[in-house]
């Protein structure tokens, strides 16, 4: 589609209008096409950083500093693996890698906590083992011990999004535009936008969902996260390594390091304090390297920041919005810090429901239940 970003030109009709091309919109549009539906995906595609472009893209079934097994981790992991593998094969672009995740404990308390989680990990299907002497890859620091966990994987989110956007463009299914709620019409059981008609509308606008009419009342929270993109010559990049933050291999000696968490942020610009936090964490991780951090001065390529959109219960938001005058719209968002892990399975469930086949109540506590509760509370 030949889009002039300024103009109010017509867009083609499709079964599904997907608003937003982050991980959520990408997974929804891919899954819809696999189900035989036509799509139109709209995103301003500006240079601004979105969560998906800044993301580490790590699929880790052990969560945060509390080291708890991720909610429905194996179910989400299996769905994500199969979707990403099929997707990269079809696109001919490699963006998914699977390898055990290395965790270097930052304190003896964390190492002890890891031991107490053994049964939880086993119940959740997570395999863990200590990193043996001399086995520490990359010579990273591990004075309190280190452990492997699997399954683990990471996706290069920008590579995926760029490849998918190119494919959508080739199919004439991409519109470089913002969709304003006021520009959407509803008539004859169809959505209308810029001359195109759509049977379904799926909102995937990330942290911006909080301002979408009908979603403002949800218990939104958001955090700002910062990352550094670096070149680290001589460091082998075959695993994601964690210690306070994550070091993610991006290929050709490039790594992403992050991300920080800033609660109740008023903005999400890269900040001096965020950078200082990340640089201190990186020297701490590299302090064990044989060559020493002095010999391995990281070259900074970029310092970036984005909002993570989440709900206060840290569960994804997936389902149908309450009907307003017969209009039905769908939403996938609130992916917090788990978008790479959650988006594929959530997209599948959303598409099943949208086609009248599935049951979203399977994802307990998600949008349907939340809104029902809200209406009942009245
Ligand atoms: C620093 C950082 C590190 C992270 N690391 C990881 C990680 O290692 N693993 C992991 O699983 N997750 C990670 N995450 C979280 C993950 O990035 C998010 O959960 C996920 O990217 C959210 O995807 P999304 O599509 O919902 O939102 P977004 O990526 O924000 O995408 C929303 C899109 O909607 C578009 N949009 C907004 N409004 C409109 C509109 N009105 N019309 C059209 N388009 C619109 C935007 O331009 C944007 O492209 C990280 C996040 C951050 C910030």
Per residue in 355-377, pLDDT (tens digit) is 887 666 555 445 554 544 444 44
Helix axes 157-170, 73-91, angle to 10 degrees: 50
Give the mean model confidence (pLDDT) for residues 35-47: 93
Give me 279's structure tokens: 């640089």
| Residue carrying the six token digits 């390898």 | 99
Per residue in 213-257, pLDDT (tens digit) is 888 888 898 999 999 999 987 777 789 999 999 999 999 889 999
The span from the CA of 294 to the CA of 287, in Å, is 9
For residue 208, give Cα distances in angstroms to 40, 102, 191, 222, 245: 19, 34, 21, 10, 26
Q: Any idea where the domains of the chain sit in the sequence?
A: 14-53+158-219+313-377, 222-308
The predicted model scores a pTM of: 0.93
For residue 326, give Cα distances in angstroms to 211, 321, 329: 21, 11, 10
Q: What CATH number is given for 222-308 in this structure?
A: 3.30.9.10
Helix axes 23-34, 73-91, angle to 10 degrees: 70
**Ligand 1 pocket member 102 (CB < 6 A):** no
With beta carbons less than 8 A apart as the criterion, state whether 236 and 222 touch. no
**Ligand 1 pocket member 152 (CB < 6 A):** no
Sequence-separated (6 or more) residues with CB below 8 Å from residue 111:
105, 144, 145
Question: Radius of gyration (Cα) for the chain, nearest Å?
Answer: 21
Superfamily (CATH H level) for 14-53+158-219+313-377: FAD/NAD(P)-binding domain (3.50.50.60)
Give the mean model confidence (pLDDT) for residues 309-328: 82
Among 205, 209, 240, which is best to mutate for testing ligand 1, by the most ligand atoms less than 8 A from CB?
205
């Amino acid at each position: 589609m030949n889009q002039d970003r300024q103009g109010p030109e017509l867009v083609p009709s499709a079964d599904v209008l997907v608003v937003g091309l982050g991980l959520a919109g990408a997974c929804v549009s891919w899954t819809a096409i696999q189900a035989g539906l036509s799509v139109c995906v709209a995103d301003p595609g500006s240079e601004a950083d979105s969560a998906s472009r800044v993301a580490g893209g790590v699929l880790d079934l052990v969560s945060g500093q509390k080291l708890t097994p991720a909610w429905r981790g194996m179910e989400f992991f299996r769905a994500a693996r199969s979707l990403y593998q099929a997707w990269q094969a079809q696109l001919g672009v490699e963006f998914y890698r699977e390898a055990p995740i290395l965790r270097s404990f930052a304190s003896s308390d964390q190492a002890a906590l890891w031991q107490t989680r053994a049964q939880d990990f086993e119940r959740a299907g997570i395999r863990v083992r200590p990193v043996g002497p001399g086995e520490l890859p990359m010579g990273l620091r591990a004075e309190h011990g280190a452990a492997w966990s699997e399954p683990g994987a990471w996706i290069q989110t920008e590579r995926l999004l760029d490849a998918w956007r190119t494919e959508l463009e080739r199919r004439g299914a991409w519109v470089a535009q913002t969709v304003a709620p006021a520009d959407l019409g509803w008539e004859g059981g169809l959505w209308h936008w810029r001359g195109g008609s759509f049977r379904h509308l799926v909102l995937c606008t990330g942290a911006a969902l909080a301002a979408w009419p009908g979603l403002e009342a949800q218990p939104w929270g958001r955090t700002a996260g910062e990352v550094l993109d670096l070149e680290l010559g001589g460091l082998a990049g075959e695993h994601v390594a964690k210690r306070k933050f994550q070091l993610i291999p991006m290929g050709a000696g490039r790594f992403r390091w992050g991300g920080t968490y800033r609660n109740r942020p008023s903005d999400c610009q890269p900040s001096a304090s965020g950078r200082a936090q990340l640089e201190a964490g990186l020297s701490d991780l590299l302090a064990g390297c044989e060559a020493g951090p002095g010999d391995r001065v990281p070259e900074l390529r970029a310092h970036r920041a984005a909002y993570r959109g989440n709900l206060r219960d840290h569960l994804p938001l997936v389902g149908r919005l309450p009907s307003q005058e017969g209009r039905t719209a769908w939403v996938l968002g609130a992916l917090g810090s788990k978008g790479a892990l959650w988006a594929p399975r959530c997209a599948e469930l959303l598409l099943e429901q949208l086609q009248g086949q599935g049951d979203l109540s399977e994802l307990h506590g998600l949008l349907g239940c939340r809104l029902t509760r809200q209406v009942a509370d009245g």
